[in-house]
């Protein structure tokens, strides 16, 4: 009899992972559906109230929920005899005596309504159970070409790297969009330089591709930019701090 895979949660990562596992579950496992406290509100199918599901030995539940809910849910599922796998980059396997059996964290960004690719995405796995570890590696390899073992500390540090690479970069892109919009230009005007910046960094390394006034020490241009930002104190503070950091990082 095949074991079952469940996804607890119906958010961005839960949807992305569940959709893939519906098509690509390992040979000895079958994707059974999503678990939610409010299944009637979900657009995903099949979705169950997790309190009513009859689990069998060997079933796996992926916790794709906000970090603050992970260990409360883990305690519930642990009592019901299933493997509990959280999908957080920042959380350990144990907290206040409550344990998850493993962590399975893809280093990728997911957003509802926007398709994200799994191809080549690193998946960091932490588990001390040999059977579960094998299952997670098989699952990861079905989704991605890069599956690696990880400690909690390595995962947390990669999560920090991901915040720099995605969250902070996206906020900077929004700042560029706001600046272009302020003079009546389309946000598309920044797309060519944005694409080239990413291509340069990927192909040649960020350390070898930095440009701009802070990198050159062009104080005249920097002061002109400060003047333009006089009425945007938050953006000005960010510009000043980034200028200082670039000067330090590439000195």
Please, which pLDDT band fits residue 62 given cuts at 50, 70 and 90? very high
Q: Share the mean pLDDT of the chain.
A: 95
* CA distances in angstroms from 183 to 29, 36, 54, 177, listed in the order given: 56, 46, 60, 10
Whether residues 141 and 163 fall in one domain: no
Whether residues 16 and 92 fall in one domain: yes
- Spatial distance between the Cα atoms of 169 and 16, rounded to a whole number of angstroms: 22
Give residue for tokens 């590439």: 250
Whether residues 134 and 25 fall in one domain: yes
Whether residues 72 and 177 fall in one domain: no
Choosing from 150, 184, 200, the residue where a domain stops is 150
Whether residues 113 and 182 fall in one domain: no
Give residue for tokens 């642990």: 78
Cα-to-chain-centroid distance, residue 48 = 25
Assessment of whether the complete model's pTM goes beyond 0.75: yes
Whether residues 9 and 101 fall in one domain: yes
Whether residues 137 and 160 fall in one domain: no
What CATH number corresponds to the domain at position 138?
Answer: 3.40.50.720
Which helix (H) or strand (E) segment is 206 a member of? Answer: none
What CATH number corresponds to the domain at position 166?
Answer: 1.10.1040.20
Q: 140-163: per-residue pLDDT in tens?
A: 999 988 999 999 999 999 999 999
Whether residues 234 and 188 fall in one domain: yes
- Spatial distance between the Cα atoms of 75 and 41, rounded to a whole number of angstroms: 24
Question: Lowest-confidence range among 110-119, 221-230, 240-249?
Answer: 110-119
pLDDT at position 74 is 97
Indicate the SS3 state at residue 57.
Answer: coil
Domain containing 35: what range?
Answer: 3-150
Q: 158-180: per-residue pLDDT in tens?
A: 999 999 999 999 999 999 999 99
pLDDT at position 251 is 86
Burial of 193 (0-12, 13-18, 19+ CB in 10 A): exposed
| pLDDT > 80? residue 1 | no
pLDDT at position 38 is 86
Q: Quick one: average pLDDT of 184-213?
A: 98
| Percent of the chain that is helix, strand, coil (3-state, to 5) | 50, 20, 30
Give residue for tokens 């493993």: 102
Please, which pLDDT band fits residue 42 given cuts at 50, 70 and 90? confident
pLDDT above 90 covers a percentage of the chain that reads 90
Q: 95-137: per-residue pLDDT in tens?
A: 999 999 999 999 999 998 888 899 999 999 999 999 999 999 9
Whether residues 111 and 230 fall in one domain: no
Whether residues 139 and 60 fall in one domain: yes
Please, which pLDDT band fits residue 220 given cuts at 50, 70 and 90? very high
Please, which pLDDT band fits residue 40 given cuts at 50, 70 and 90? confident
Choosing from 115, 135, 150, the residue where a domain stops is 150
Choosing from 135, 150, 165, the residue where a domain stops is 150
pLDDT at position 241 is 98
Whether residues 142 and 172 fall in one domain: no
Q: Quick one: average pLDDT of 170-194?
A: 98
Whether residues 27 and 87 fall in one domain: yes
Q: Could you tell me how many residues make up the chain?
A: 251
Look at the chain and report how many structural domains it folds into: 2
């Amino acid at each position: 009899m095949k074991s079952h895979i469940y996804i607890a949660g119906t958010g961005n990562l839960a949807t992305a992972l569940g959709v893939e596992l519906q098509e690509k579950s390992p040979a000895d496992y079958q994707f059974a559906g999503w678990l939610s406290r409010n299944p009637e509100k979900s657009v995903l199918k099949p979705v169950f109230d997790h309190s009513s599901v009859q689990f069998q030995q060997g079933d796996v539940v992926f916790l794709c929920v906000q970090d603050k809910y992970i260990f409360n849910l883990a305690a519930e599922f642990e009592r019901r005899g299933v493997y509990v796998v959280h999908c957080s980059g920042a959380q350990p396997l144990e907290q206040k005596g409550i344990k998850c059996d493993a962590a399975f964290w893809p280093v990728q960004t997911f957003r509802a309504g926007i398709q994200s690719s799994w191809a080549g995405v690193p998946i960091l796995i932490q588990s001390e159970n040999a059977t579960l570890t094998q299952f997670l590696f098989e699952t990861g390899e079905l989704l991605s070409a890069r599956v690696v073992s990880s400690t909690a500390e390595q995962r947390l540090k990669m999560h920090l790297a991901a915040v720099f690479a995605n969250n902070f970069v996206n906020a900077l892109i929004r700042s560029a969009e706001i600046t272009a919009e302020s003079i009546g230009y389309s946000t598309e005007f920044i797309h060519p330089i944005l694409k080239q910046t990413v291509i340069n960094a990927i192909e040649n390394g960020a350390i070898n591709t930095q440009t701009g006034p802070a990198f050159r020490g062009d104080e005249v241009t920097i002061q002109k930019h400060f003047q333009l930002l006089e009425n945007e104190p938050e953006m000005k503070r960010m510009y000043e701090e980034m200028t200082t950091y670039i000067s330090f990082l590439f000195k």
